[in-house]
Amino acid sequence: MAALLLSSPASADLSAAQRTELDSKIERLRHHARVPGLAIGIVDGGVPVYAHGFGVRDLATKRPVTTDTRFHIASISKTFTVTAVMQLMEQDKLGLNDLLERWLPPFAGSGITIEQLLTHTAGLADWIDPEGATQDSQVADYVARVARHHHAYPPGRGWDYTDADFNLLGAVIEVVSGEKFPAYLATHVFPQAGLTRTTALMPAADDDFAWPHPGEWHVKRGKKHPWDRVFIPSSGVESTVTDLLQWALVNLRRDPALLTPDSYTLMFTPRVETDWDDISMGLGWQLEKHEQDWLPRHPGGDPGFHTLLTLDPPHQRAIVILSNGETTPRWEIRDLIEKVLDSKAN
């Protein structure tokens, strides 16, 4: 089956009054929070109903954010990495119980499994911050450096959200598939999902992309983009609100062009309790308790960017929030959107 195609938001099912309400209230929140640029997208009832850009992608140029503007999506990237892992599992090339040392020898004797990396229970910590790596060869150096650290806790006996877990999964994917991680996503994930503006590469200078604006009290244009070759699997994908609406649809509808039904079930089933209220870990996805349901989500944050993707399968609903600032009231925007959608249903 071909990947699902995104319908035009203009053809969808929000009234003019509801669109005006969203436009004005989101713009008010953006201005109050001093966020340079936002892109907001909504799926409701399995249909894209809203996609809109607010503010500017760069305070220096004042160029506006559009629905085609690429944002650094930060940790939403992890949802692509877990998809790649599930694809390799479906091909019997990789297993949840595989020891990490099978694929990354520096971890010999660690006892870490693939499942523990996917659920942030591997006993690792983010000992190494992004350093602006640009070369493929720097992945192996990162793996060796992480392996030299003592465990923060015995694997499987704690929980700590870390980028290191997913950076290592990216290295595993490279070994198992024989392809570099950006190329694997570009060949086996993005096209199957119907994504046309999503990349794991640093955006080109002439592209329509949002520049980071770090700071909470004094927001200013960043000096550099946070993309790092080593950290692509945890936080390095670049995408647009339109593409992430398509990504949401693929996962909401469990599109077989990407994964089997069993793989979606594995990702979206709670496996580990976290330290966060009403949040458990599936495989790669965080799961938020809402009444009797566990709803997949993933927020993201890097210098100059804050993002959020939430899925509500029972209502076939999704919300995408992308921003090039760190003061973005993501949860307030999500609550506002849900109130408008719920009023539509009444």
Going by C-alpha positions, the residue among 320, 262, 238, 343 that lies closest to residue 26 is: 320
User: In this structure, are residues 325 and 314 in contact, taking their beta carbons and an 8 Å threshold?
Assistant: no
- For every residue of 220-274, which 3-state class applies, written as one string? CCCCCCCCCHHHHHHHCCEECHHHHHHHHHHHHCCCCCCCCHHHHHHHCCCCEEC
Residue 158, CB-side half-sphere exposure with 13 Å CA sphere: 12
Q: What is the pLDDT along the chain (346 residues), one digit of tens a residue?
A: 333 344 444 445 799 999 999 999 999 999 999 999 999 999 999 999 999 999 999 999 999 999 999 999 999 999 999 999 999 999 999 999 999 999 999 999 999 999 999 999 999 999 999 999 999 999 999 999 999 999 999 999 999 999 999 999 999 999 999 999 999 999 999 999 999 999 999 988 889 999 999 998 888 999 999 999 999 999 999 999 999 999 999 999 999 999 999 999 999 999 999 999 999 999 999 999 998 999 999 999 999 999 999 999 999 999 999 999 999 999 999 999 999 998 876 6
Main-chain phi, psi angles of 180, to 5 degrees? -65, 150
Distances (CA, A) of 288 to 180, 274, 279, 292: 32, 11, 5, 10
CATH class of residue range 75-202+228-235+266-290: alpha beta
| CB contact set of 105 (below 8 Å; sequence gap of 6+) | none
Could you list the beta-strand ranges (E) of 36-105.
37-44, 47-55, 71-72
pLDDT number for residue 5 = 40
Domain residue ranges of the chain, discontinuous segments joined by + = 75-202+228-235+266-290
